[in-house]
A and B are shown apart, each in its own frame.
Chain A
Amino acid sequence: MESYNTLNQEIIDELRAVSDHVLVGSAINPDYAKDEMPIYGTHMPDLVVQAYSTQEVSDVMKVCYKHSIPVTARGAGTGLAGGAVPIFGGVILDISPMNHVLGYDLENFVVNVEAGVLLKDLQDDCITKGLMYPPDPGMKYACLGGNVATNAGGMRAVKYGTTRDYVRAMTVVLANGEITHFGATVSKTSSGYSLLNLMIGSEGTLGIITELTLKIIPAPKATASIIVPFKDLKTALSAVPKFKMAHLDPQAIEFMETDIVDMTERFIGRSVFPKQCNGEDIHSYLLITLDGSSDEDLDEQIDQFSKVCFDNQAMEVFIAETPSQISNAWAARSAFYEAITDEIKMLDECDVVIPVNKIAEFIPFVNEIGAELGLDITCYGHAGDGNIHIYQCSNTMSPEEFEECNNKFFDVIYAKAVEYGGEVSGEHGIGNAKMKYLEESIGKTNVDLMEGIKRVFDPKMILNPGKVCHRL
């Protein structure tokens, strides 16, 4: 176990000498102690630096490295696995002030951004230029640096891939303060180990990402969102592989059941999804986005898609035609998490990823285990890529009771996911929350390799200690 120094006035003065944006004591907002899942522990940092430049990050890291002070990088703090929580105290390097889009290179289809730019700001900026940044995680107010640090996935991963597929290059500040660059504005590379890809998904444990070169694509000319109701979830999920077989390539295929839809509509205060179809109650939905190269192309896809749905027992095919219908449907989908947290006193979640063909049998299993343990289970997720969001909820248990049931629940469902050939996290990351399950699923040898890599990047183990592979 590493030993870290605590901040004293001398070190604070050294930090103040290199940064004008140092916060200590009561000036530190309590939000810095947590991310969106305080259940995994909260801890106040001793000092916060709100960084405005790569050089400032570098100067701060040099001081922290010299004195062996733990440093946790933080963006918008929207993580769900404790990744941005400074569990050893020390310094938080808040990169959210680095929020500038630095420029587009439309000959190479990349955009250069600072790591604190919000996902929504980049997506919106791209749209006004006829471009698209395809990764589309549910939390639009996350920083791109955090998206890269967790390899965030999102709704469009089924067609366009995850954040990893859109990172061409990055500027990184290493633990000792040295500034380096990984990757290049090229489409392929066979040039030694991919340090770029090591950084993606490293959750602030290998270096601090300050700037990014991201791949962008021309925006599709036409898109349509489609809500497909089914009598039950199994039937809905069974339809999914048929789309590919029919040469359809939706940009998003989300599944959901009526419980989460009802909860979200109470939260947002309006009804978005149809509840009945020809007098029959709807129980499950697929929410799908198709994109096309022209209105005619899209029209043809909608026809073909509808036929596949009806061949697979869809109750109806609802087509969102207007921008407000489309944005309402997807805004409701993006509000699922907030809707749950609004109604539930105690909750935990996981974002396990399993082979697509196993979802239909995995979800009833998850519901059954939850019921046995007295937990209310809500599931939804990405039917197209096997990434499921499972929420264990209770409004009646004591915190101790909830923790005990929840741990038992995790043990069983992660074991099942591994049995199916799945992985612990599809897009939220490991943080400190899922380390035990990571080791159980990939084995000690692999976690040792990860820890060895971390030690090369960060010999004093000061970067986000106690996360991902750094066992205490």
Chain B
Amino acid sequence: MNICVCIKQVPDTNRIKIDPVTNTLVRKGVPSIINPFDTYAVEMAAKLKEECGGKVVVISMGPAQASKALRVCLSVGADEAYLISDRAFGGSDTLATGYILAGAIKKIEELEELKFDLIFCGKQAIDGDTAQVGPQIAEQLGLAQATYALDVSCTNDHAIVKREVDGGYDTVLVQTPAVVTVVHTDQMPRYATYSTRCEAKKKQVHVLSSAELSELDLAQCGLSGSPTRVVNTYTPSVQKLGIMIEGSSTTELVDKLVGILDDKRLL
């Protein structure tokens, strides 16, 4: 069972504020973290490897400092790490990113002399929140996809994916190789230990640039290759706060609620 996990280094959005004048994110001094959904994807891959054997390869597209995030993954179950980094890839929208990552995955299969059975992504990145890159990789590679995965188990040529849906979950059977996007699961991402951390430090983070990914059409990469244009960013208006109804019994609470609705002529 060989698994590729795509991760992204993102600003810690808990530490970000909006500049009240320019309405843009103030990123100064904000630490970078691994996109939280991706940490669950790495954990899912590490667990499947323990159960079924195989190799976990973690990849990220980004600047040189993203190698720090990759090294963390190496300390919690990943075997190999690839950084996809080139100025030509900067400013890519989700379509271009999906295209580049799909090309990189094919190249890594060649370099590692293996075929990936599964490609994992986090459901979405917390900075862009699009949830598009995983499905676009599947489309580019012509693979089946299962999104919002809570759990994955495997048979010979299929994956059984438990998917989060409103009000519960459903279970689907997917032909492998497949792309699976992962939500927050009950399986907490494991801790690095001193020894896994030391081993991770010794490993190399391989870098793939446009030179290595020569089969990519650069006209489909980067800002110029991206059809998306961000014309404006703005802070969503604050929703009106709800009303908290307090009382000592259900009857009292219901009476108060009915009173409020009645006052507003909603009944």
By a beta-carbon cutoff of 8 Å, the part of chain A in contact with chain B is 127-128, 130, 227, 270-272, 274, 295, 302-303, 306, 309-310, 316-325, 328
**Interface contact A319-B191, CB-CB below 8 Å:** yes
Known: A317-B194, A319-B191, A324-B36. A130 touches B29 (CB 8 A): yes
Does B256 make an interface contact (CB < 8 A)? no
**Interface contact B197-A322, CB-CB below 8 Å:** no
Interface residues of B in 135-187 (CB under 8 A from A): 186
- What residues on A are CB-neighbors of B206 within 8 Å? none
**Interface contact B12-A318, CB-CB below 8 Å:** no
- What residues on A are CB-neighbors of B72 within 8 Å? 321-322
Known: A127-B15, A128-B15, A322-B72. A227 touches B36 (CB 8 A): no
- What residues on B are CB-neighbors of A322 within 8 Å? 33-34, 36, 39, 72, 189
**Interface contact B76-A321, CB-CB below 8 Å:** yes
- List the count of A-B residue pairs having beta carbons below 8 Å apart: 53
Which secondary structure characterizes the binding site on chain B? mixed
Does B188 make an interface contact (CB < 8 A)? yes
**Interface contact A316-B194, CB-CB below 8 Å:** yes
Instruction: Report the minimum CB–CB distance from B10 to chain A (whole Å).
Output: 11
CB-CB nearest in chain B for A271: B188
Cα distance, A199 to B52, chains bound together (Å): 64
Cα distance, A227 to B191, chains bound together (Å): 9
Cα distance, A295 to B32, chains bound together (Å): 12
**Interface contact B15-A318, CB-CB below 8 Å:** no
**Interface contact B188-A272, CB-CB below 8 Å:** yes
**Interface contact B15-A324, CB-CB below 8 Å:** no
Does B75 make an interface contact (CB < 8 A)? yes
**Interface contact B29-A318, CB-CB below 8 Å:** no
- What residues on B are CB-neighbors of A323 within 8 Å? 12, 14, 31, 33
Name the one of B31, B76, B188, B191 contacting A270, with C-beta atoms under 8 angstroms.
Answer: B188
CB-CB nearest in chain B for A223: B31
Q: Which of A274, A322, A323 is most buried by chain B, counting CB atoms within 10 A of its CB?
A: A322
Q: Which 9 A-B residue pairs are closest in the complex by CB-CB distance? A: A318-B191, A306-B194, A317-B194, A319-B192, A321-B72, A130-B29, A323-B33, A321-B192, A322-B39
**Interface contact B197-A319, CB-CB below 8 Å:** yes
**Interface contact B17-A302, CB-CB below 8 Å:** no
Cα distance, A295 to B201, chains bound together (Å): 13
- What residues on B are CB-neighbors of A320 within 8 Å? 191
Q: Which of A128, A272, A303 is most buried by chain B, counting CB atoms within 10 A of its CB?
A: A128
Cα distance, A303 to B15, chains bound together (Å): 28
When each residue 239-250 of chain B gets 1 if its CB lies under 8 Å from chain A and 0 otherwise, what string results? Answer: 000000000000
Cα distance, A227 to B36, chains bound together (Å): 20
CB-CB nearest in chain B for A299: B201
Does B193 make an interface contact (CB < 8 A)? yes
- In which size bucket is the chain B interface? 20 to 34
Instruction: Report the minimum CB–CB distance from A378 to chain B (whole Å).
Output: 24
Instruction: Report the minimum CB–CB distance from A132 to chain B (whole Å).
Output: 13
6 cross-chain CB contacts under 8 A: A318-B192, A319-B193, A322-B36, A323-B12, A323-B31, A323-B33
Cα distance, A320 to B189, chains bound together (Å): 10
Instruction: Report the minimum CB–CB distance from B184 to chain A (whole Å).
Output: 9
Name the one of A274, A295, A310 contacting B191, with C-beta atoms under 8 angstroms.
Answer: A274
**Interface contact A319-B194, CB-CB below 8 Å:** yes
Cα distance, A316 to B191, chains bound together (Å): 11
Extra A-B contacts (13), CB below 8 Å, given A128-B15, A319-B192:
A128-B17, A303-B194, A316-B193, A318-B191, A319-B191, A319-B193, A321-B72, A321-B76, A323-B12, A323-B14, A323-B33, A324-B39, A325-B188
CB-CB nearest in chain B for A221: B31
- What residues on B are CB-neighbors of A302 within 8 Å? 194, 197
Instruction: Report the minimum CB–CB distance from A326 to chain B (whole Å).
Output: 10
Cα distance, A93 to B192, chains bound together (Å): 49
Cα distance, A302 to B75, chains bound together (Å): 14
Instruction: Report the minimum CB–CB distance from B38 to chain A (whole Å).
Output: 10
- What residues on A are CB-neighbors of B29 within 8 Å? 130
- What residues on B are CB-neighbors of A128 within 8 Å? 15, 17
CB-CB nearest in chain B for A328: B188
When each residue 67-82 of chain B gets 1 if its CB lies under 8 Å from chain A and 0 otherwise, what string results? Answer: 0100010011000000
When each residue 29-68 of chain B gets 1 if its CB lies under 8 Å from chain A and 0 otherwise, what string results? Answer: 1010110100100000000000000000000000000001
